[in-house]
Chain A
Amino acid sequence: MAGGQERVLRRRIKSVQSTRKITKAMELIAAAQIPRSLARILANRPYRLGMQRIVLEAALGDPAGAKKLLAMPEKVDVAIVLVITGDRGLSGAYNNATLRAGERLVVKLQNEGTEVRLFCVGKKAAAYFRFRGLAVQESFVGFVDRPTFADVQLVARHLSALYVDGEAQQILMVSMRYLSAGTQAVEVQQLLPLVMPELPADDQPAALKGYTEFEPEVEKLLFFLAPRALESEIFSALLEAAASFHTSQQRAMAAATENADELGQTLTRVMNRARQDSITTEIMEIVGGAEALRSRK
Chain B
Amino acid sequence: MATLTVEIVSPEKALWAGPASALMARSSEGNFTILPQHTPMVGDIVSSIVRVETSEGEIAFAVHTGYFQVGPGSEEGETLATVLAGVAERTTEIDVARAQAAKEAAEAQLAGASKGDQPDDETYLIALAALERAELRLSAAAK
Binding site for B on A (CB under 8 A): 40, 43-44, 46-48, 50-51, 53-54, 57-58, 61, 148-149, 152-153, 157, 205-207, 211-216, 218, 221, 224-225, 228, 231-232, 235
Q: Is the CB of B27 within 8 A of A216?
A: yes
Which residues on B sit within 8 Å (CB–CB) of A157?
122
In the bound complex, CA of A149 to CA of B65 (Å):
14
Total A-B Cβ pairs within 8 A? 96
Q: Is the CB of B12 within 8 A of A149?
A: yes
In the bound complex, CA of A157 to CA of B121 (Å):
13
Which residues on B sit within 8 Å (CB–CB) of A235?
11
In the bound complex, CA of A205 to CA of B40 (Å):
10
Given contacts A47-B84, A51-B84, A54-B67, contact A149 B10 (CB under 8 A): yes
Q: Is the CB of B43 within 8 A of A221?
A: yes
Q: Is the CB of A215 within 8 A of B7?
A: no
Determine if B111 is an interface residue (Cβ-Cβ < 8 Å).
no
Q: Mark B13-35, 1 if CB is under 8 A from A, else 0.
A: 11000000000000111001000
A139–chain B nearest beta-carbon distance, Å: 17
Q: Is the CB of A207 within 8 A of B71?
A: yes
Interface contacts beyond A54-B67, A214-B43, A216-B27: sample of 19 additional A-B pairs, CB < 8 Å, sorted by A: A46-B7, A46-B9, A46-B14, A46-B82, A50-B7, A50-B84, A51-B67, A57-B69, A57-B71, A61-B42, A205-B40, A207-B40, A207-B71, A211-B40, A213-B40, A215-B28, A215-B32, A216-B43, A221-B43
A-B contact pairs, 19 of them (CB 8 A): A44-B12, A46-B7, A46-B82, A50-B7, A50-B84, A57-B69, A58-B42, A149-B87, A152-B11, A205-B72, A211-B39, A212-B40, A212-B42, A214-B42, A215-B29, A215-B41, A215-B43, A216-B27, A224-B44
Q: Is the CB of A216 within 8 A of B28?
A: yes
Determine if B112 is an interface residue (Cβ-Cβ < 8 Å).
no
Given contacts A46-B9, A54-B67, contact A214 B84 (CB under 8 A): no
In the A-B complex, the 7 residue pairs with the smallest Cβ-Cβ separation, listed nearest first, are A215-B43, A207-B40, A207-B71, A43-B13, A213-B41, A212-B40, A46-B9
In the bound complex, CA of A53 to CA of B67 (Å):
11
B45–chain A nearest beta-carbon distance, Å: 10
Q: Is the CB of B86 within 8 A of A231?
A: yes
Given contacts A54-B84, A231-B86, contact A221 B72 (CB under 8 A): no
In the bound complex, CA of A148 to CA of B42 (Å):
26
B22–chain A nearest beta-carbon distance, Å: 17
- Residue total for B at the interface (Cβ-Cβ under 8 A): 27
In the bound complex, CA of A149 to CA of B12 (Å):
7
Which residues on B sit within 8 Å (CB–CB) of A51?
67, 84
A237–chain B nearest beta-carbon distance, Å: 12
In the bound complex, CA of A62 to CA of B22 (Å):
28
Which residues on B sit within 8 Å (CB–CB) of A57?
40, 42, 69, 71
A236 — nearest CB in chain B belongs to which residue?
B11
B69 — nearest CB in chain A belongs to which residue?
A54
B66 — nearest CB in chain A belongs to which residue?
A228
Q: Is the CB of A53 within 8 A of B69?
A: yes
In the bound complex, CA of A206 to CA of B74 (Å):
9
Q: Is the CB of A216 within 8 A of B44?
A: yes
Q: Is the CB of B44 within 8 A of A215?
A: yes
Q: Mark B114-143, 1 if CB is under 8 A from A, else 0.
A: 000000001000000000000000000000
Partner of A213, one of B14, B28, B39: B39
Given contacts A50-B9, A206-B71, contact A149 B86 (CB under 8 A): yes
A138–chain B nearest beta-carbon distance, Å: 13
A60–chain B nearest beta-carbon distance, Å: 10
Q: Is the CB of A207 within 8 A of B72?
A: yes
A210–chain B nearest beta-carbon distance, Å: 10
In the bound complex, CA of A6 to CA of B31 (Å):
83
Residues 22-79 of B contacting A (Cβ, < 8 Å): 27-29, 32, 39-44, 67, 69, 71-72
A224 — nearest CB in chain B belongs to which residue?
B44
Which residues on A sit within 8 Å (CB–CB) of B29?
215-216
